[in-house]
Amino acid sequence: MRKDTGGDRDEEAAVSPNPRRVTSYEVARLAGVSQSGVSRVFKPGASASAEMRHRVLAAASALGYQPNAIARTLTTGRSNMVGIIISDLTNLYFPEVLSELAARFSRHGKRVLLFTLPHEAGVDRIIGDVVGYQLDGIVSAARLSADQVSAFLSRGCPVILYNRSLGGVAAGSVCCDQNKAARRLADGLVDTGHRRIGFIGGPADSTVGRQRSDAFAARLAERGIRTTPFVESDFSYAGGHAAMLELAGRAGSGLDAVVCANDMMAIGALDATRHALGRRVPEEMSIAGFDGIDPARWDSYRITTVRQPVRRMTEAAVRMLLDQIADPARPPVRRVLPGELIVRDTVRGLAPSGDADGR
Amino acid sequence: MRKDTGGDRDEEAAVSPNPRRVTSYEVARLAGVSQSGVSRVFKPGASASAEMRHRVLAAASALGYQPNAIARTLTTGRSNMVGIIISDLTNLYFPEVLSELAARFSRHGKRVLLFTLPHEAGVDRIIGDVVGYQLDGIVSAARLSADQVSAFLSRGCPVILYNRSLGGVAAGSVCCDQNKAARRLADGLVDTGHRRIGFIGGPADSTVGRQRSDAFAARLAERGIRTTPFVESDFSYAGGHAAMLELAGRAGSGLDAVVCANDMMAIGALDATRHALGRRVPEEMSIAGFDGIDPARWDSYRITTVRQPVRRMTEAAVRMLLDQIADPARPPVRRVLPGELIVRDTVRGLAPSGDADGR
DNA sequence: GCATGTTTTGCATCCGTATGCAATACTGCT
DNA sequence: AGCAGTATTGCATACGGATGCAAAACATGC
């Protein structure tokens, strides 16, 4: 009656050292139904009688059956895996983002394939993997070129850009508009009498870094402050530290305040100011950053910063990607959430807002 | 070597809206060989003439062919994916570990599936995924029970436990022996005149936490110090902060020093001491930690700590897992690397070693 | 030139699940 | 009871690549 794929040979090997997979055929045989029945019971929307459902589930649990996601992927074309691209986990903003993204995706039944880009140029490999592993989608928090994003999209893999957006590409994006907050920060500094204000920027090719410095410098210019000593750095603690020393050396003692393009550098700059330069913060030097990472709240720092709403941003990114996956035809969305100036203790004269510092 | 998937696309259907996958059959047809020929060319060890190899590769690059890893997994049983289980990325020790592991695995051609365990009990789902996605192996830096580890192993998925080891389970492990360094730390404190030494431990079910406190307390006892005020906490900054306040309240002003079971808590405790209690470190209170995370080196902290050789540990973990995957019969290895006492500035009277603080 | 040994190659089949289609089992109703 | 209509179920096949086996191609030796 049925073709029986040669099941009953030396099968009864007790607890064999070979952990052979249990397949839907075996469950079917034990439950006395067809393989497709088993398949249907394990597929959410499919039709199956209570009777069949019960017998299959009983057999499945007796055998310890677990549907093979790989085989399922092969037929459905959907892997239930998403890729997350992070450039650098040592910038402590990214673990926070990754942690949130991973938790949220997991909650929605998506597995997370993590790609880190330590030394650049690994993107081509990721593109290959996206195709090869049939990833359902990508969230990228790393610098990708328009061509690279297009490569994903043309393979039918939707992309959500986190904290950057690219013109001419049909990728969704979640960004943080720090313009307003950056201007408020600039105003706050000027209003409290700061006049010679330096800036420690990110790498030249960083769009976020550029946005932050531009917004800030623009407002400063509007307020009549034109010379802003600028040092380019790399978003790291050490980078901020070194940049601060350079800035201090270059600008002499006239420097009032230094704003850094992210909190990691702000922390480094603050430490350099206090411990290497021996100057007090904020009394002799004001410092501010961007991101709102956790360490910036630590008692030793309490850095005034422009915070990104990480929770809401990651939530939006996940939502958007899931939507794109569910309906690839839907036009990609660009979501912009506002950054918020969190006033803490590193800017002289600026009083902490009533803000409870919550997330 | 072969690249440029979009160079010459006058191959009909220039910008097809439907990104249909290119299969080995199509490559075979274009190259005028059989599908198995294509398969063999793309499999490293297989036999193929130079002629065939050339024609297949030409056809493949013309079509932009990318072998389907999913289908390959289905037949070979090897997914080239490994799982990494991390309990909590907000403990900044873990991003460092994850970053290293991810980079190393990637270098060896393994994709990384990231599992975070925010609220416990998600392990069962991971077990399901391991089977379903046919993961080649697991590195776990989270607390797993022996049963859970066995569940992986019995599914033919080798496991390397990072920073913990379990009796009676055939899992490899990489641990850090902090015993000696912890004893040296205890000696250092006693030798420099500390007498009333508190300890902030990890959660009760944490083996690392237990090991650290035990080793430390044991040595203290040997040196004739028996009462060590102990507070249990949760490895977080806030936890260390709160625990410090509790300790100070309980032990009164007699407290000389506080050792924390990890650096995150040490940082929190240090901040609590300086900023909430208003006491100077190390003059009025010494503090030390474990792990050797990056922030513990920051100028504001410079915490004396027992460092784990993360580079070498992750290297060992990756090596061991790859070996297990290559030869499942090989008995699992338990590797123990020594922790190292890094003397910095938070213990009164203890002079920084000549150590360059490198990794 | 022929027998023998060694690669290469193609054929057929398998991996484990999903699903269109047709057959079957029910349901409610007259 | 008989019938149309719906809900279940099984059959057969597809998904894309790997691989055992035997045929074919090539190389070697005399």
Q: Token pair for residue A114? A: 């993590």
| Residues of chain A neighbouring B103 (CB-CB closer than 8 A) | 116, 118
Confidence (pTM): 0.91
Residues of A in contact with B345 (CB under 8 A): none
3-class secondary structure, A63: helix
Among chain A residues, CA nearest to B126: A111
User: What DSSP designation does A29 have?
Assistant: H
The pLDDT of residue A47 is: 78
| Averaged pLDDT of chain A | 89
pLDDT at B49: 83
Strand D–CB B74 distance below 7 A: yes
Are the beta carbons of B68 and A134 separated by less than 8 Å?
yes
Q: Which residues contact A115 (CB under 8 A, 6 or more apart)?
A: A83, A84, A85, A86, A122, A126, A129, B106, B112
Query: Looking at this protein, which amino acid is placed at residue B75?
Result: T
What mean pLDDT do residues B250-262 have?
A: 86
Does B63 contact chain A (CB < 8 Å)? no
Q: Does A238 touch chain B (CB under 8 A)?
A: no
Residue A61's Cβ-count burial label (10 Å; 0-12, 13-18, 19+) is exposed
Q: Does A275 sit within 8 Å of B300, measured CB to CB?
A: yes
- pLDDT (tens digit per residue) in B198-255: 999 999 988 899 999 999 999 999 999 877 799 999 999 999 999 999 999 886 668 9
- Cross-strand bridge partners of residue A177: A338
> pLDDT, tens digit, for every residue of B97-145?
999 999 999 999 999 999 998 766 688 889 999 989 999 999 999 988 9
Chain B, residues 193-232, CB within 8 A of chain A, namely none
| Window 19-58 of A, Cβ < 8 Å to B | 19, 21
Average pLDDT of B21-25? 90
Residue reference for tokens 């039709």: A47
Chain A residues with CB-CB distance to B131 below 8 A: 21, 66, 68
Residue A7 has pLDDT above 90, yes or no: no
pLDDT tens for each residue of B34-63: 999 999 999 877 778 888 889 999 999 999
Q: Mapping DSSP to helix (H, G, I), strand (E, B) and coil, where does residue B189 land?
A: helix
Q: Are strands B257-260 and A257-260 parallel, antiparallel or unpaired?
A: unpaired
- Cα(A265)–Cα(A241) distance, integer angstroms: 7
What is residue B186's predicted lDDT score, i.e. its pLDDT?
A: 95
Contacts of B90 in chain A (CB under 8 A): 95-96, 99, 294
Question: Which residue from A165, A156, A166 is spatially nearest to A127, judged by alpha carbons?
Answer: A156
Write down the residue that tokens 């079917």 correspond to: A28
* A13 — pLDDT class (breaks 50, 70, 90): very low
Buried b (16+ CB within 10 A) or exposed e, A133-164: bbbbbbbbbbbbeeebbbbbbbbbbbbbbbbb
Q: What is the mean pLDDT of chain B?
A: 89
How near does any CA of chain A get to the CA of B175, in Å? 23
CB B200 within 8 A of CB B240: yes
Q: Are A204 and A143 in contact (CB under 8 A)?
A: no
Residue B119's pLDDT is what?
66
Whole-number Å distance between alpha carbons of B231 and B249: 12
CB atoms within 10 A of CB A352: 13
Distance in angstroms: CA A31, C1' D7: 20
As a whole number of angstroms, the distance between CA A129 and CA B183 comes to 48
Two structure tokens written together for B352: 């920084």
- pLDDT at A259 > cutoff 90: yes
Choose from A73, A108, A345 for mutation: most chain B CBs within 10 A.
Answer: A73
Cα B96 from Cα B109, distance rounded (Å): 20
Residue of A206, A201, A239 whose CA lies nearest to A90: A239
Nucleotide nearest to A70 (CA to C1'): C16
Residue B67: asked if its preceding bond is cis (omega within 30°), the reply is: no
Q: Given this model, what pLDDT does residue A251 score?
A: 65
B352 in Cβ contact with B344 (< 8 Å): yes
Nearest to B112 among A70, A95, A113 (CB): A113
Do A151 and B6 count as a contact with CB atoms less than 8 A apart?
A: yes
Is B155–A73 a contact, with Cβ atoms under 8 angstroms apart? Answer: no
